[in-house]
Structure 1
């Protein structure tokens, strides 16, 4: 077998791979966690999620906290609060931002202080429209306690129902 025929065979395999079924893929970018102070019990994680097909974020897990939930900000008159959401829609190809002013991940029952400069492992479970589950491992950079999105209100002043 000549080197030329091996190259042709490899090229054919590559082309076959490109025309085969495409797996759903979810990309997470700009993931970060707000630092905590000693004995603080919770903090937030934020990121942008882009799914290649219509999907939904159904859960997030992390070894740094006993409970991890996705929350959304709510307004009840003049009182800002939060409530858990069971799933976040991820329309195909459209970035969905989890930020301090809207949907976000709450890390509750922290095992230890989360310090600026550390990395926090997060595991996202995304379910496609056909029910296939995909897990996405993310390393979120811990940013300063004072890190805020523009116009953000302090998280400590919010009520949890």
Structure 2
């Protein structure tokens, strides 16, 4: 039942009219997308669902994008005091037979040091690096801007990290 609910949630992420998906080996990528950030934005978030139809776990261990100086896997959390944080994570586990949602408020991809504007309707190539599946090139759709969310967050600390060359 949990798998059905997770798959239903992943499909809800793919509801936009131009939703897309890609299957490579045992991994399925459901609607990789970046909500269009403001033209002056230095960072943007990437979201999707990743399903693993195989019998072994895999791990997302790297991200490369030519439209950003740096791309990393991150996790957002809210502690018991209601304080939100976002941190770099070294890997995102994709268990066998399960779907992992990269979404607001949880795991996601951060594209930092954007080298140009991201315009709604564009497709941008991104290479995901997996422990077992290796390098997988997919396209992220630039979706309509969000009303609230990533572009409303304070990314000033991340700009500092970019200059210092740290990802943590």
**TM-score normalised by the shorter chain: which range applies?**
0.7 to 0.9
How far residue 50 of structure 1 moved from its aligned partner, in angstroms, is: 1.9
What is the aligned partner in structure 1 of residue 140 from structure 2? Answer: 140
Q: Which runs of 5+ in 1 are unaligned?
A: 1-22
Alignment of 1:25-36 (within 5 A): 25-36=26-37
Shift of 1:25: 3.0
Does the 8 Å CA contact 1:70/1:106 hold for their aligned counterparts? Answer: yes
- The C-alpha deviation readout for 1:86-127, integer Å capped at 9, x for no partner, is 001111121111011210000000000111001111111111
2-structure distance, mates of 1:30, 1:147: 19
TM-score of the two chains, using structure 2 as the length reference: 0.70
Pick the structure with greater CA Rg. 1
Partner of 1:55: 58
State the shift of 1:157 in Å: 3.0
1:67 aligned residue (53, 66, 70): 70
Q: What is the Cα-based RMSD across aligned positions, in Å?
A: 2.1
Does the alignment pair 1:113 with 2:117?
Answer: yes
CA apart distance, 1:61: 1.0
Structure 2 residues not aligned, in runs of 5+: 1-23, 158-167
Q: Deviations over 1:25-83 (max 9, x none)?
A: 32211111111222210001101112322111101111110010111112242221200
* Cα distance in 1 between the residues matched to 2:119 and 2:91: 29
